[in-house]
Structure 1
Amino acid sequence: MQRRTFLKSALTASVASAASAGTALAQPSGGREYYQLRKYHLSRGTGSAMTEKYFSEALIPTLNRMGMKTIGAFSVNYGPETPTYYLLIPSSDLFTLTNLDLLLAKDETFLKAAEPFWSSPGKDASPFVDAESSLLAAFDGWPHLTAPDTKQKRIFHLRTYVSSTYGDHVRKVEMFHHGEFKIFQESGCGQVFYGDLLIGRQLPSLTYMLTFPDLAALEKGWAGFLSHPEWKKLAAEPRYAFEPIVTNIDSLILNPLPFSQV
């Protein structure tokens, strides 16, 4: 494994990209997308309404104006994370993506629209308890986000695979490139994005997102994937089967917010 550091400026976060001798990890190149995945743990009460207004009237229009299109906005409706909103921000401009909050703080149009959210009086009145961001690089085999038809009913399955070693992580990424993309497609699973985690919690790990019309379609798609002959063959290959290469899986069902562009 090798690590390369990208220094865009003194303000830019450093980004690590792992590489292997084979197909392995996503390696940043011209045109490849990066993803900032933001998570907002909302306050009870008015937190949801204030955050939705901030997303729809301030943040997403500004991101679009800055050249970042197809912004995903989602809610977690089940499990211990509720109420939580996720924001998926794709861009091929790494500098802008890693310096986003600094750039927003200098944008007068944004600041005016965002003022109620950015300047809520004190912790008790804040629309969110805390927020966190992670930075991902798109896989070689899936270099750009693929958005479903936003006019259709849809849900999303956000999954994160954590490995105990970088070698195991490399092998898991290889599995996607050696067959999982195709198996998902043939099983009726819509594929939105795949990314290597560069900065964030739970390194080394990858995150990907699937989409389905509803929960019944999700269950049918996964059943088709797990029973697919090519999946059984791939999972049995000695390179991937000799030890567990994924030690933890986070799995969330997300619903798009009304203004989501994904």
Structure 2
Amino acid sequence: MSEFYEIRIYRVFDFEKQNMLEAWMRDALLPALGRLGIKNVGVFRNQGDPNDHSQFMVIPFESLEQFAELNVKLAADKKFTDASQGWFAQDMKDPVYNRVDSWVTQAFDSIPKMEIPSFTDNPDRIYELRLYESHNMDSAKRKVKMFDDGETQLMRDTKLGPVFFGRTLAGPDSPNLIYLLGAESEAAHKEHWKAFISSDRWAAIKDLPEYKDTVSKIQKWNLTPTDFSEL
């Protein structure tokens, strides 16, 4: 049974408000998710842009039903609503975040469940979130197949540290897929990418005709986990 993932970007452009958002996530949201049995939630800052204080979040779900019931169950959780009183009272004219971008994705066959890194207690660990847009449904399907037919395993073998891959069911810039890589450090991550790109197996895969023109645009974010992130 494959997992589902919601990837959120809380659009924040102020350091003080970023801290306010993190405090609410740490003290109210993540404990409530834990009480619902939702574990391995990732919370990250955008390392690549010092002027963007947006907060990135990855929430794994066992089913779409669990995702659909989330807000109802949070609203019924008194500990959560009590811990969120100050958060809910924020001024409409001065919100903590502008909007929340959200993608709902389903795990690939080649990585049906999140693969938790062994270095989640390493303070130097980093992550890279990537979004691959395709120009139509067929090209998106073929790109997923490319991963399932060997690219995912090659990433494992070259220590790129795939955490999850998700084909987007609903969200901005569709059709697309989203995945998360992790490494012990930024330097290690660069070395792992070099090993991947220089691999003979990658050279053989990337030029196969069936995978031609499958990606029209790549978005990527270099992320650092918060001190309360579960990834």
TM-score bucket (shorter structure): over 0.9
Shift of 1:86: 0.8
What is the identity percentage for the equivalent residue pairs of Structure 1 and Structure 2?
31
Find the aligned partners of 1:81 and 1:101 in 2 and give their Cα distance. 31
Output the TM-score relative to the length of structure 1: 0.83
Which residue is 2:173 aligned to?
A: 202
1:162, 1:206 within 8 Å by CA — same for their partners in 2?
A: yes
> What are the Cα deviations for residues 47-85 of structure 1, in whole angstroms up to 9, with x where unaligned?
122111111110000001001111111110223871111
Q: State yes or no: 1:217 paired with 2:188.
A: yes
CA drift of 1:43 comes to 4.5
**Superposed displacement of residue 183, structure 1:** 1.3
Q: CA RMSD in A?
A: 1.5
Residue number in structure 1 paired with 2:151: 180
Contact persistence 1:58–1:110 (CA under 8 A):
yes
State the AA in 2 paired with 1:236: D
AA of the residue aligned to 1:251? K
- Identify the residue that residue 6 of structure 1 maps to in structure 2: none
Residues 1:103 and 2:73 aligned together: yes
1:47 to 4, 14, 17: 17
Moved more, 102-111 or 170-179: 102-111
1:80 and 1:236 map into 2 onto residues whose CA distance is 36
Change in Cα spacing, 1:65 to 1:168, as seen in structure 2 (3 Å) is same
Count of aligned positions: 229
Matched, 1:192 2:192: no
Measured after TM superposition, the shift of residue 144 of structure 1 is 0.7
Mapped partners of 1:226, 1:213: distance in 2? 19
1:70-121 Cα offsets, whole Å, 9 max, x none, are: 1111110223871111111101132231232233222221011112222212
8 A contact 1:77–1:83 mirrored in 2: no
- Structure 2 counterpart of 1:64, from 24, 27, 34: 34
Displacement of 1:45 in angstroms is 4.5
Match of 2:53 in 1: 83
Distance 1:160 1:201 in 2: 10
1:21-61 CA distance string (max 9 Å, x none): xxxxxxxxxx3211111111124252122111111110000
1:1-262 to structure 2, matched below 5 A, reads 31-79=1-49, 82-124=52-94, 126-148=95-117, 149-152=119-122, 153-241=124-212, 244-262=213-231
Q: 1:81 to 1:40 in 2, by over 3 A?
A: farther
TM-score by length of 2: 0.94
| Preserved contact between residue 41 and residue 229 of structure 2 (Cα < 8 Å) | yes
Q: Please tell me the residue identity of whatever aligns with 1:246.
A: V
Unaligned ranges ≥5, structure 1: 1-30
Runs of 4+ in 1 over 6 A off after TM superposition: none
SS at match of 1:129: coil
